[in-house]
Amino acid sequence: MSKNAHSARSDQTQKGQQEQILKVENLRKTFGGITAVADVSFHVEKGSITGLIGPNGAGKSTTFDLITGVQRPDGGEVEFNDTEITGYRSDQVANQGLVRTFQIARELSEMTVLENLLLAPQNQAGEAVWRAVLPRARTKVVEQEKELREQAWEMLELFEIEHVAHESAGNLSGGQRKLLEMARVLMTDPEMVLLDEPLAGVNPTLEEKLIDRLHTLKERGYTFLFVEHDMDVIMNNCDTVIVMHQGSVLTEGQPEAVKNNDRVLDAYLGEEVKI
Amino acid sequence: MAARDYYSRGQNLLYNRPVLVIFAVIGVFLVFDILRQLGTGTIVVTDLMSYLWNGLVLGMSLGLAGVGLSMTYSILNFANFAHGDLITSGAFAGWATAFLIAGLGEFSVEALVLIGGPIAVGSNELGINVVNTPLALLAGLLVAAALTAVLSLLLDRIVFKPMRSADGVTLMIASVGVALFLRNFLTFSFLTDSRGLTGGNVPQFTIADVTFGGHQITLVVVAALLMLGTHILLQYTKIGMAMRAMAANKDLAKVTGIPTERVVKLTWIIGGGLTGCAGFLIALQQGTLTVTMGWDLLLLVFAAVILGGVGSIYGAMVGGVILGIASRLALVWIPASFLLVAAFVIMIVMLLVRPSGLFSGRTTA
Amino acid sequence: MSTGSIQARAEGWLGNNDVRLLVALALAIGGLYALFSVVLGFQLNGTVNTLRRVAFLSAIYAMLALALNLQWGYAGLFNLGAAGFMAIGVYTMGILAAPVTASPPGFGLPLPVAIVAAILVTGVVGGLAALPAIRLRADYLAIVTVAFSEIVRLTLRAPEFANTRIAGVAFGTGGATGLSLPSNPIRILFYTDPAATAPAPNALGAAMFSAVEPLGIEQTLVIGWAYVVVLCLCLGLLYWLMIRIGKSPFGRVLKSIREDQQVTQALGKDTRLFKIKTFALGCALMGLIAILWRLSGGYASPRMFKPIQTFYIFIALFIGGTGSPTGSIVGGALFASLLFEGPSFVRRVVAEYLQLSNAPDTLVGALAELGTLDVTPLLAYSVQDVSISALRLMLLGTVLVYLMQRHPDGLLGHRKAIASSVDLAQQATREDDNE
C-alpha cells in the first residue's frame, strides 16, 4: 500500500483545498415504468466522510449501483477524479480507484479470509495465466504474493480479525463479515470507498470499532461515501450529509444544517415533500 | 414528430441491441432472396409450398413434444435431458399396444409386443394406418400417454424428488443420467433394429402438386387439439392457476398454501402424457421407429422451447412451427445434410439475442 | 523465505497425500486387471496388452477430466460441448498433416507443426465461442455448447466437406467414413524408417524387441506401452499445470468468479476476460488430448465425437470431484477402468465360466425361461454385444444419478485447496520481515 501517497492526500485536505473527487450530475434510472432514480446530482469532497441518507426506497442503493457500474444509468454523468466514468463496467470503475461494498455482506464463503483479501489487489502479475505457470516469470508472482500477504496481514490487524485469517469466510459471524468486506475493498488500494450500510447487523462494540477505523483511514487520505440509517452515527461522523428522497437529492450540507431542515423531517415521517 | 420518434427509437435499438438489428436485417434479406428466387424461377412455388407444409408438420411435432419439457423446465427449474427418451418410451409403449390390437391372432404375441424388430412382422401385412385401424391407433395413443405419465411420475419419485432443493445444473446432470438409463433400457429390451410401423394404403391428398400425407394431417390436427386442451386446462382450472403461480414464484406459491408437491406431480402427469402422445404421433408420421428417435429430436425440442420462451405453451408451439418451417425453408440455400445445423444455429442465435424467448414472461399460458 | 523451502513443502504435500493415493489407485486397478487376465487364462502378451489398454484409457480420461475441471471445477463454466472441441483438434491436426496426395488430400505439414496449429485453432475457436456464450446462465450455456458440438460433428460428417476444394485448396474431412491420421509418432523411437510397411528396427528397437521376445510379447505391444509412458508424462505435466493454475492469483480469481461473479467484478476483475481465457485454454487442452487419444489409433470419425463422449468426461469428473486435480485423475482412472472397460471383462468372465447356450433372440424369449428358474438364457441374452453395451450405459446413467443425489461434488468432494502461490500460514507475524 502506498502509504506516502495517502498521507500526502491527507495533507492536502488539511490545507483546506476543496477538491471534489466524485461528481454526480442528473443521474437517472427507470425500471419498466418505475423511476428508481429521478434526478440525482451531488459532489463528494476528497478526503471526507460523506453520509448518504434517506427513507427506504429513496434510491440510495440504486445510485450506488449506477455510480459503480453494476447497472447502466439511463441518463446523467458520473465523474471521478476528473475522469468521466459514466457507463463503465464495475471492474473498470474499481480500477479507477472507486470501490464499493454491498448492502448484504458478500464474502466469498468457500475461500478463507486471507484468500478473500489476496483476491482484491489490482493488476496482480499472477493474474496472467502464463506468468502463473512459467517458472522464470513465476518468481515475480511469488515475490508479489509475499508482498500482498504482508499487506493482508496488516489489514487483518487493522480490523482485528487476525484470529480468523485461515477460517472459511462462510464461517464468520455477521459482524466479522462486514469487517472482512471493508478490509477486502481496502486491499484494492482505492481512493474512494462507497459503503452500503456497513453497520447493519453489527453489534455496538464492533460498530464503534468500525467507525474508529473509518476515521483512521480518513486520516490516511481515503474518501468515504456511506449509506446508513442510524442518524446518530451519521450526524456524529460525517463531514457532509446528502439526503435523498423519492429518487432525488432533497438537500445537502453540514450535519447540523441537515438535522434542522424541516423537509428532511417530513421526508422521514412520510409526508409529501416538494423537491 | 412521429417520424422523429421512430428515428430516435430506431437509434436506441441500434445502440442497445446491435446483434438483434443485424439478425433482423439478415432475416429481411433472406425473405427478399426467396422472392427473388421465385421471380427468377430458381425455386418453384410447389417446392416452397411443400417446404412450408413439411415445416409445419415438423413444427407441430416439436411443439407438442416441447410442451412437457417447457412445463417441467418452468416449474421444476431444470433442463430435462431425459425428455427425448420419454418421447421414445411413449412411442414404444403406444406402438406395442397398436401392434397387439391390430395383429392379435395373426402373429405371435412376442413379435407384436416387440413391435417386430428381431422377429419380423411385415408391417404391410399388419396394414396399420389411420383409415384401416383407427381403434388400434387410438388405443396406442392412450397407452402412450398413460405409460409415459406413469414413467415420468416414477422417475420423479426415484430421481428428482430426493433432490428437490438441488440447483438446476445438478438436476440437469442427473437427467442426463436418466436419459442414458432409459434409452439403453429400451435398447436392452428391444435391441437396435429399426422398425417399420405403418402399412397399407395411407390416404393422401395432393393439392396443386403439394402432397399432404394422411398421417401428417393426423399429427397436425391431434397436436393442435391436445395443445388447445392443455391451454384450457391451464388457463381456466384451479390446478392450472396453481401451476402458473408456481412457475412464476415457487416460494411465494408455497407460502400461499399451494400444495407444491401435488402441482409437481400433476406437471409430470400432464407433461408426460403429452410427451407420450408426441412420441406416438411422430412415429406414426415417420412410419418408422428406433430407440434413438427421441434423443435425436431432443436438441430440436429444446430449440423450439427456448425459441418460444420457456414455460409458455403457445411459445413451444409457435417456437416449434417457426423452427420447423425455418429449417425446411433453409433448404432453399443449403444442402439437406445441414438441416439440423441450421436449426441449431437458429437456437444459438436466439439464446444469444433474446434468451427469454419470443413469448417471454408468459409462464405456462 | 527461500524457494527451496517452498519446494520442500510442495514435495511434502505431494508425498503425504495425493501422489500416494494415485499410486495406490494405479496398483489396485493394475491388480484387478491382472486378476481378470489370470481368470481368463491370458498369455503374458494378452495380460500386458490388457494392462496397456486400461492404462491408456485411464490416462486419456484423466487428462480430459483435468481439462474439463479447469472450466467447470475452477471457473464454473458448464461446457457440454467438449466432444466438439476434441473433434476440432483432431480434425485440424489430421487435415493439416495429411499428405497432399492422400484421399482426401491434406496440407502435408509436419506432424509437430500440425499439432501446434491444431491446439491453437481449438483454443481460438473455444475463445470465440465463449465470447457471446459466457453471458448465459449455466443451463443455457450447456444447451448452446452441446448444440455447438453437434454442429461440428454434423459438419464433419457432411458429404459436402468430405473431399472438397475451397479457394483452390483441396482438402477434406472424409465425411461419415472418417479420416486417416498420421501413424503413431512413437514408432520413430523404435524403427529406422517408421513409415515403411515392414520397417527395420533401430538400435533401441532391436534391443527392446529381442529383450521381450522370449516372453512372447509382440513388437506392437512394446510400442503401445511406450505410447502409454509418454501419455503418463503428459498427464503428469498437465496435473502439475493445473495445480499451478489453481494456486495462482489467476486461479484465485476463477475460484471467486465461480462463487460470486458480481463481487469479483466489483473488486476490479474483468470477469469476462478471465472466463474467455479459461474457456479457450480448456478447449485447447481438450484438442491436444483428443489428438493424443486418436494418434494411437491412426483414425478419426465423426461417430467418436457424439455428445456421449462429453458425458463420459463429465462422469469421470464427477466421480473424482470437481475443483480438485487429484480428483480428476482418480475419476478418470476409475471411470475408464471400472465403468468403461469393466463390464466387457465381467462379460468375458461370465462367458468363460458359465456354459451358456445360444442366446435367445429377444428379451421376451429370455424372460420366458425365468419361469423354470433357469437364468442362463437371460444371462446369455445379456452378454451379447448389443445388450452388454446397453447394460454398461444403464450403469453409467445410474452412477450419474447416484452421484448427483449423494455426492454432487464428487467422491472426493469439492476440495478447498488454498489459492495462493505462497503459503499463507507461514508468515503469520511480521517477524519474517527480518529474514
What structural domains and CATH numbers belong to chain C?
43-303 (1.10.3470)
Tell me, yes or no, whether A151 lies in a domain. Answer: no
- Cβ atoms of A171 and A202 within 8 Å: the answer is no
pLDDT value at A58 more than 90: no
Reported as a pLDDT band with limits 50, 70 and 90, residue B3 is: low
- Cβ atoms of B300 and B341 within 8 Å: the answer is no
Closest CA to B76 of B257, B213, B272: B272
- pLDDT at position B8: 64
Backbone angles phi, psi at B4, to 5 degrees: -65, -40
Tell me, yes or no, whether A264 lies in a domain. Answer: yes
Exposed, middle or buried: residue B318 (CB in 10 Å: 0-12, 13-18, 19+)? Answer: buried
Condensed to tens digits (0 to 9), the pLDDT of residues A93-110 reads 999 999 998 887 788 888
Please tell me if residue A128 touches chain C, with a CB cutoff of 8 Å. yes
Condensed to tens digits (0 to 9), the pLDDT of residues C256-289 reads 998 888 899 999 999 999 999 999 999 999 999 9
pLDDT value at A14 more than 70: no
Rounded to an integer, the average pLDDT of B117-122 is 72
Tell me if A118 and C416 make a contact (CB, 8 A cut-off): no
Rounded CA-CA distance C229/C349 in Å is 29
Q: Report which listed range, B11-15, B30-34, C354-358, is most confident.
A: B30-34
Q: Within a 10 A sphere around the Cβ of A268, how many other Cβ atoms?
A: 16
- pLDDT at position C324: 86
- Cβ atoms of B313 and B68 within 8 Å: the answer is no
DSSP B127: T
Please tell me if residue C196 touches chain B, with a CB cutoff of 8 Å. no
DSSP B196: E
High-pLDDT (> 90) share of chain A, %? 23
Reported as a pLDDT band with limits 50, 70 and 90, residue C126 is: very high
Question: Hey, which bits of A46-160 come out as E strands?
Answer: 49-53, 75-80, 83-84, 98-100
Residue found under cell 494418434: C295
Rounded CA-CA distance C373/C194 in Å is 58
Give the alpha-carbon dihedral of C366, C368, C370, C375, to 10 degrees. Answer: -20
Give the pairing of strands A192-196 and A20-31.
unpaired
Determine the distance in angstroms separating the CA of C255 from the nearest CA of chain A, rounded to an integer. 8
Condensed to tens digits (0 to 9), the pLDDT of residues B34-75 reads 888 888 877 778 888 888 899 999 999 999 999 999 988 888
Closest CA to C304 of C392, C394, C173, C400: C173
Tell me if B341 and C394 make a contact (CB, 8 A cut-off): no
Tell me if B345 and C151 make a contact (CB, 8 A cut-off): yes
More confident residue, B328 or B360: B328
Rounded to an integer, the average pLDDT of C148-164 is 92
Task: Tell me chain C's radius of gyration from C-alpha atoms.
Answer: 24
Burial A89-117 (b: 16+ CB within 10 A, else e): bbbbbbbbbbbbbbeebbbbebbbbbbbb
pLDDT value at C310 more than 90: yes
Burial C290-301 (b: 16+ CB within 10 A, else e): bbbbbbbeebbb
Reported as a pLDDT band with limits 50, 70 and 90, residue B20 is: low
Cβ neighbours of residue B249 closer than 8 Å, sequence gap 6 or more: none
Reported as a pLDDT band with limits 50, 70 and 90, residue C10 is: low
Rounded CA-CA distance A224/A222 in Å is 7
Tell me, yes or no, whether A170 lies in a domain. Answer: no
| Maximum distance among all Cα pairs of chain A, rounded to whole angstroms | 67
Tell me if B190 and C143 make a contact (CB, 8 A cut-off): no
Condensed to tens digits (0 to 9), the pLDDT of residues B151-184 reads 999 999 999 999 988 888 899 999 999 999 999 9
Determine the distance in angstroms separating the CA of C290 from the nearest CA of chain B, rounded to an integer. 23
Rounded CA-CA distance A205/B106 in Å is 90
Q: Within a 10 A sphere around the Cβ of A170, how many other Cβ atoms?
A: 13
More confident residue, A39 or C152: C152
Site from B183, B351, B354, B356 to mutate, C interface, most C CB atoms within 10 angstroms: B351
Pick the residue from chain A with its C-alpha nearest to C256.
Answer: A108
| Maximum distance among all Cα pairs of chain C, rounded to whole angstroms | 85
Residue found under cell 502463473: A132
Rounded to an integer, the average pLDDT of A249-272 is 78
Domain count, chain A: 1
- What sign does the dihedral A123-A124-A129-A130 (CA atoms) show? positive
Tell me, yes or no, whether A90 lies in a domain. Answer: yes
Give the pairing of strands A223-227 and A49-53.
parallel
Site from C382, C388, C405 to mutate, B interface, most B CB atoms within 10 angstroms: C405
pLDDT value at B311 more than 80: no
- pLDDT at position B231: 86
Rounded CA-CA distance C120/C284 in Å is 7
All residues of chain C having their beta carbon less than 8 Å from the beta carbon of residue A184 are 267
High-pLDDT (> 70) share of chain C, %? 93
Look up the domain containing A248 and give its range. Answer: 3-108+188-269
- Cβ atoms of C381 and C387 within 8 Å: the answer is yes
B:C CB pairs within 8 Å: 142
Tell me if B110 and C364 make a contact (CB, 8 A cut-off): yes
Determine the distance in angstroms separating the CA of A72 from the nearest CA of chain C, rounded to an integer. 14
Q: Within a 10 A sphere around the Cβ of B49, how many other Cβ atoms?
A: 14
The helices-and-strands tally (H runs, E runs) of chain C is 17, 4
Determine the distance in angstroms separating the CA of C284 from the nearest CA of chain A, rounded to an integer. 14
Which member of B180, B351, B355 has the closest CB to residue C400? B180
Give the alpha-carbon dihedral of B337, B342, B348, B350, to 10 degrees. Answer: -160
Instruction: Quote the cell numbers at residue A226.
Output: 456511506
Least confident of A21-35, A111-125, A201-215, B246-260: B246-260
Residue found under cell 453489534: A203
ipTM surpasses cut 0.85: yes
Rounded CA-CA distance A46/A49 in Å is 9
Closest CA to B60 of B285, B289, B223: B223
- pLDDT at position C413: 62
Pick the residue from chain C with its C-alpha nearest to A139.
Answer: C3
Tell me, yes or no, whether A43 lies in a domain. Answer: yes
Tell me, yes or no, whether A238 lies in a domain. Answer: yes
Please tell me if residue A113 touches chain C, with a CB cutoff of 8 Å. no
Q: Which positions 233-262 of C are in contact with B (Cβ < 8 Å)?
A: none
Closest CA to C60 of C213, C185, C218, C238: C238
Backbone angles phi, psi at A194, to 5 degrees: -100, 120
| CATH at A24 | 3.40.50.300
Rounded CA-CA distance C315/B168 in Å is 17
Q: Within a 10 A sphere around the Cβ of A253, how many other Cβ atoms?
A: 14
Reported as a pLDDT band with limits 50, 70 and 90, residue B236 is: confident
Q: What angle do CA C136, A94, A11 make, to 5 degrees?
A: 175
Condensed to tens digits (0 to 9), the pLDDT of residues B322-337 reads 889 888 888 888 888 8
For chain C, the average pLDDT equals 86
Tell me, yes or no, whether A204 lies in a domain. Answer: yes
Tell me if C148 and B192 make a contact (CB, 8 A cut-off): no
Q: Which positions 208-267 of B are in contact with C (Cβ < 8 Å)?
A: none
Reported as a pLDDT band with limits 50, 70 and 90, residue A12 is: very low
Rounded CA-CA distance A1/C104 in Å is 62
- Cβ atoms of C300 and C172 within 8 Å: the answer is no
Rounded CA-CA distance C386/B78 in Å is 32
More confident residue, C413 or C58: C58
- Cβ atoms of B294 and B92 within 8 Å: the answer is no
CA dist C94 → A216, C91, C284, C294, C341 (Å): 65, 5, 16, 10, 27
All residues of chain A having their beta carbon less than 8 Å from the beta carbon of residue C431 are none
Rounded to an integer, the average pLDDT of A187-202 is 88
Rounded to an integer, the average pLDDT of A12-33 is 75
Reported as a pLDDT band with limits 50, 70 and 90, residue A5 is: very low
Query: How many residues in total does chain C contain?
Result: 435
Condensed to tens digits (0 to 9), the pLDDT of residues C54-99 reads 999 999 999 999 999 999 989 889 999 999 999 999 999 999 999 8
Which member of B78, B114, B192 has the closest CB to residue C139? B78
- pLDDT at position B108: 80
Q: Which positions 70-109 of C are in contact with B (Cβ < 8 Å)?
A: 78
Determine the distance in angstroms separating the CA of B19 from the nearest CA of chain C, rounded to an integer. 11
Q: Which positions 126-165 of B are in contact with C (Cβ < 8 Å)?
A: 159, 162-163
Closest CA to C149 of C90, C106, C104: C90
> Is residue B54 classed as helix, strand or coil in its secondary structure?
helix
> Is residue C42 classed as helix, strand or coil in its secondary structure?
coil
Rounded CA-CA distance C110/C103 in Å is 17
Reported as a pLDDT band with limits 50, 70 and 90, residue B15 is: low
Determine the distance in angstroms separating the CA of A130 from the nearest CA of chain C, rounded to an integer. 9
Q: Which positions 9-48 of C are in contact with B (Cβ < 8 Å)?
A: none
Rounded CA-CA distance C379/C357 in Å is 10
- pLDDT at position A228: 85
**Reported pTM:** 0.89
Tell me if A118 and C255 make a contact (CB, 8 A cut-off): no
- pLDDT at position C294: 95
Condensed to tens digits (0 to 9), the pLDDT of residues C384-411 reads 888 888 999 999 999 999 999 988 887 7
Please tell me if residue C416 touches chain A, with a CB cutoff of 8 Å. yes
Condensed to tens digits (0 to 9), the pLDDT of residues C213-242 reads 888 888 889 999 999 999 999 999 999 999
Cβ neighbours of residue C403 closer than 8 Å, sequence gap 6 or more: C315, C318, C319, C410, C411
Give the alpha-carbon dihedral of B61, B64, B68, B70, to 10 degrees. Answer: 90
- pLDDT at position C169: 83
